[in-house]
Amino acid sequence: MNTLFRFFTAVDAFLWSYAIFILIVLAGLYLTFRSRFYQFRVLEHLPSALKKMMKDSQKESVGVSPFRLFFTTSGGKIGIGNSVAVVTAITVGGPGALFWLWIAAMSGMLIKYAEIYLGMHYRRHNAKQDGYNGSLMFSFSDAFGSHWGRILMKIGGVFLCIYGVEVYQFTILTDTVQKIVPIHRDVIIVGVLLLTLYIAMGGVRRLANFCSTLAPAFLVAYVGMCLWILFCNAGALPGIVTSVFKSAFVGHAPLGGFVGSGVFIAIQKGMARAVYSGDIAIGFDSIIQSESKLQQPQHQARMAIVSTFSDTMICTLTSLVILVTGLWQTGGLQDSEYMQKAMGLYFPYSEYLMEGIILLACLTTIQSYFVVGAKSATFVSRRWGQILFFCYAIVAFVFFAHFDQSQVILVMSLSGGILVLINLSCMLRLRKKVTFSKKMQDDI
């Protein structure tokens, strides 16, 4: 197995350091200039845009509230991705990885906008006519032709099913629960599986209710603690920021438990964790957001910019906390233990609070991805898709729960990388179908 994981590591490094890096940067720059820096205009007029969206959603009876969908996708992004997974970018790629995470996020805002726009544009009414089914994959026939479109839709559906079984966060959840409650690991696995299946049976509506209740609580608690730690270390922040920009272009020498990293490692880790945390070009968001009540694609797609921005801010807070406390130079810790240790330096009994936050974050994320994976399975095969997906999920959760967290994340990184290549190719071919408001005031 170690030989297999070493092979996966080499493939993962090539994908994220070269192919995906070039595609994301070029696609992001193209959309940014073509839209006249639309992401900044959306953030500038955010309160008015949200007010307009709430008013429009009240006019429609079919579909799911856009705000519930926002927290549903946040359940998949504001969680372990930006409180645990991003830590590996810093501990392996060094401070410079944070700079490349920012680059991926700025490019990713409009890439996600295009993804959701096309998902909304190509969506269809479901069989009961009480909602919608949509996905970026529905546009593949227009992008690649009917023959290749069908083939790529099957391939994309399979990898989205693999990605929908969030084995990395399931492993973190299992490790965390086992630390809190001294019970057999298999009992924990069965318990989480049953909870996941229960919420998944309710589809996006039940998931939206679940995440819109829990996600805000996680957000407030986590951000508040991070800001306090940074406030206590305000004097060290200028030096940390300088190190981020310097290391992004020249790498970082070995220091303490940090073994050192080159520029390409910083690029690979920063890009990969930004895409994983923010779901950039994965296809997850296009399936969830396509169920929105809103009729105008650009109105729902704007929320992708807000979502990516909030995700990036939390990734930044996590990274700065790890850097300012010096824990990034410490080796021998599991991914999920770095922030627990950082919080423990400033808050009494915070290791228990952080464990609770990790449990909450893992649950919302696992549920979010599982629902999308189950829905994607029907795109592959209407008759057998969900049955095969549930069987794979049970086997994968149990199997990977016995591996190290740093090995399990390779499954998500590789499957996500392949999805990014397919989806970005589609979005670039259909780029002229994606429209942006020339003036935000006219659209509000």
**Domains of the chain and any CATH numbers:** 20-46+64-431 (1.20.1740.10)
Given a cut of 50, whether residue 147 has pLDDT beyond it is yes
The one-letter amino acid code at 19 reads A
Dihedral sign computed on CA atoms, order 158, 100, 109, 234: positive
CB 427 within 8 A of CB 140: no
What is the chain's length? 444
* Unique residue bearing structure tokens 């307009």: 52
Mean pLDDT within 67-73 = 63
Mean pLDDT of 299-326: 88
pLDDT confidence of residue 289:
84
Q: Which of 1-5, 23-27, 56-60, 231-235 has the highest mean pLDDT?
A: 231-235
Classify burial at 344, counting beta carbons within 10 Å of its beta carbon; exposed 0-12, middle 13-18, buried 19 or more.
middle
Residue 177 or 206, more confident: 177
Report the percentage of the chain scoring pLDDT > 70. Answer: 83
CB 68 within 8 A of CB 208: yes
User: Which two tokens mark 370?
Assistant: 């599982």
Structural tokens at position 119: 């998902």
Mean pLDDT, the chain, whole residue set: 81
> Residue 441 above 70 pLDDT?
no
pLDDT score at 440: 56
Residue type, 409: I
The residue assigned the tokens 């996966």 is 8
**Distance, CA of 414 to CA of 368 (rounded, Å):** 19
Higher per-residue confidence, 314 vs 359: 314
**At 330, which amino acid appears?**
T
The token duo for 287 is: 């399936």
